[in-house]
Structure 1
Amino acid sequence: MNLHLPLMVCFRVTRYCNARCGFCLAPPDGAHPPAAVLMQRLDWLSKQGVRVIHFCGGEPTIHPALPELLAYVASRGGGSRLTTNGIALSERLLPVLRSAGTQVKVSLHGDRARHDALVGRVAFDLATEHLRCLLRAGIPTSVQTTIVSDGDWVLDWMADFCLTEGVRQLSILPFIPRGNGFRTQGEYGLTLTQRTALREHVRRKRRSLQGRLDVRWLDFSARPLHVVEADGRVVLEGASESMDTLLCTIPGETVARKRFAIRPSVTS
């Protein structure tokens, strides 16, 4: 098999989560592999030339082996990133993030009322408290915000929040209809006009805050993303599950049938 992977991949350590985001790109599906399996996958990715592991989920911080996985990547000379909803931050995790030089993104989606409504639980205070813990520990930490319909004000609110808290980078993600978002697109979806206006708003904000806050447009629908799924599949993810391409299954693993169809890609 002739498989070409980028230097960085999204590595789903679990499809469990401690939130219930209505726009979630990777909602819970029961996949929660043990540490030994995840270590084997990391070894395989290293042999494929992958140098940076972006730990994601589900919610990666709820996997008890995450500190060991981060340390394992660092011990082999690799880099790591972590995207988290910020709800859980164990005492074991913080020093490992620091020693591994992991770059962390905390997902926040507006003020307390907006954020808690979108993630389906009381979470804003925990997420902001843990964001501040990460910043105090000297861990490179940024914020990412998903914008859904009726969220024109959220960009300005989040930019002010980041400036107040000393966050140096804010990534704006427009809603895309995959995962839970496929079901909720009638409620959360952005029209083409709204997406265009939001992107222009991001550009203006980026220019006005240059040197103070790095405001970025991060659209997962613009280009496919290489993902190692929690069930062992390596997938090129598009804007929706119907646009996904199955690249391979990590050797030695058996994958349960999924609820959604994936177009196979033959490589040799």
Structure 2
Amino acid sequence: MDPRLPATMCFRVTRYCNARCGFCLAPPDGVHPDVGLLKQRVDWLVAHGMRTVHFCGGEPTIHPGLAELLVHARACGCATRLTTNGIALPDGLLAALRATGTAVKLSLHGDQAHHDAIVGRPAFELANAHLREMLAARVPTTVQTTLVAGGEWVLDWMVDHCLALGVKRLSLLPFIPRGSGVKTEDRYGLTAAQRTQLRERVRRKRLVLLGKLDVRWLDFASQALPVVEADGRVVMERASEALDTVVAVIPGEVAPRKRVTVRAVV
């Protein structure tokens, strides 16, 4: 029997990236499907219950077909979302975001020194410039920040930064040891006590800032996340890869891995 899938799916358009974040949940592995195959996957997912498609990666903005995919998903009746590191904003993408009403979540992780160190390249200025550009174009754009051990101060800094820019929502993500985080847990891992303290601080910030900034605690380890992998598997992701469950494989998949060389977009 065909599966009935969750209404909202995280849809990985690529597993290539222009950053090397030390906490990445989906680190680069070279899988980079073409836009025709990705559109077929969207069609199949819509037929099986998807109503909101959340484009992610890897880094989705480096896929040359992203704008086309946004338009295709809207034509299929889906609401569209995008998570990006903000490093690239290719020609035509801003217009596609506006035309499709796509809600964007842009990743910023602290001040310039901290952000650039944690993502593995100079990226702070690019991300902030593109964040301002999206806000000016009235693309509904919020910010997400990963909190790591030793970076507890980032919460207050990011709140002030979002207020100064006019961002309306800030999502705080505690580090979880999956993906790249398996190798960096000793450096970035939060103890149970640290997670509890941070969650309480976020709760207090949320109460204080009601009506000014929507501050949210978003813990991907607390519930399964439905993900369409770049190789066509539909996976319920949990706190670690060992706990993941494959619930479907899109017909015709798993597609041959197409390993490509993609130039970093700056």
TM-score of the alignment, normalized to the shorter chain, above 0.5: yes
Question: Residue type of the partner of 2:222?
Answer: A
Aligned pairs, number: 257
Distance 1:207 1:13 in 2: 36
- Determine helix, strand or coil for the equivalent of 2:54: strand
- Determine helix, strand or coil for the equivalent of 1:9: strand
- 1:119 match: 119
- 2:159 match: 159
Counterpart contact for 2:149–2:187, Cα < 8 Å? yes
Question: Residue type of the partner of 1:164?
Answer: A
- 2:59 match: 59
Could you tell me the TM-score, scaled by structure 1's length? 0.94
Distance 2:194 2:133 in 1: 35
- 2:93 match: 93
Distance 2:19 2:254 in 1: 28
Question: Residue type of the partner of 2:116?
Answer: D
2:72 matches 1:72: yes
- 2:197 match: 197
1:155 shift after superposition: 0.5
Question: Residue type of the partner of 2:170?
Answer: L
Counterpart contact for 1:149–1:190, Cα < 8 Å? yes
- 2:41 match: 41
1:254 shift after superposition: 2.5
Distance 1:85 1:79 in 2: 21
- Determine helix, strand or coil for the equivalent of 1:133: helix
Question: Residue type of the partner of 2:184?
Answer: T
- Residues 255 and 72 of structure 1: is their aligned pair in 2 closer, same or farther, counting only changes over 3 Å? closer
Aligned-residue identity in percent: 64
Question: Residue type of the partner of 2:135?
Answer: L
1:23 shift after superposition: 0.5
Counterpart contact for 1:249–1:255, Cα < 8 Å? no
1:24-39 aligned within 5 A: 24-39=24-39
Counterpart contact for 1:233–1:255, Cα < 8 Å? no
Question: Residue type of the partner of 1:120?
Answer: G
- Determine helix, strand or coil for the equivalent of 1:110: coil
- Determine helix, strand or coil for the equivalent of 2:122: coil
Unpaired stretches in structure 1, ≥5 consecutive residues = 258-268
Deviations, residues 215-240 of structure 1 (Å, cap 9, x unaligned): 00000000000000000100000011
- Determine helix, strand or coil for the equivalent of 1:235: strand
4+ long deviations beyond 2 Å? 254-257
- Determine helix, strand or coil for the equivalent of 2:55: strand
Distance 1:200 1:255 in 2: 44
Distance 1:253 1:245 in 2: 17
1:4 shift after superposition: 2.5
Higher RCO, Cα 8 Å, sep 6+: 2
Deviations, residues 28-70 of structure 1 (Å, cap 9, x unaligned): 1111000111010000001001111000000000000000000
- Determine helix, strand or coil for the equivalent of 1:126: helix
Q: CA RMSD in A?
A: 1.0
1:171-250 aligned within 5 A: 171-250=171-250
Question: Residue type of the partner of 1:131?
Answer: L
Distance 2:229 2:252 in 1: 15
- Determine helix, strand or coil for the equivalent of 2:144: strand
1:182 shift after superposition: 0.9
1:17-28 aligned within 5 A: 17-28=17-28
- Determine helix, strand or coil for the equivalent of 1:99: helix
1:255 shift after superposition: 5.2
Counterpart contact for 2:43–2:76, Cα < 8 Å? no
- Residues 6 and 14 of structure 1: is their aligned pair in 2 closer, same or farther, counting only changes over 3 Å? same
1:83 shift after superposition: 0.2
1:2 shift after superposition: 4.2
Question: Residue type of the partner of 1:9?
Answer: M
Distance 2:175 2:22 in 1: 11
- 1:260 match: none
Distance 2:35 2:59 in 1: 15
- Residues 169 and 222 of structure 1: is their aligned pair in 2 closer, same or farther, counting only changes over 3 Å? same
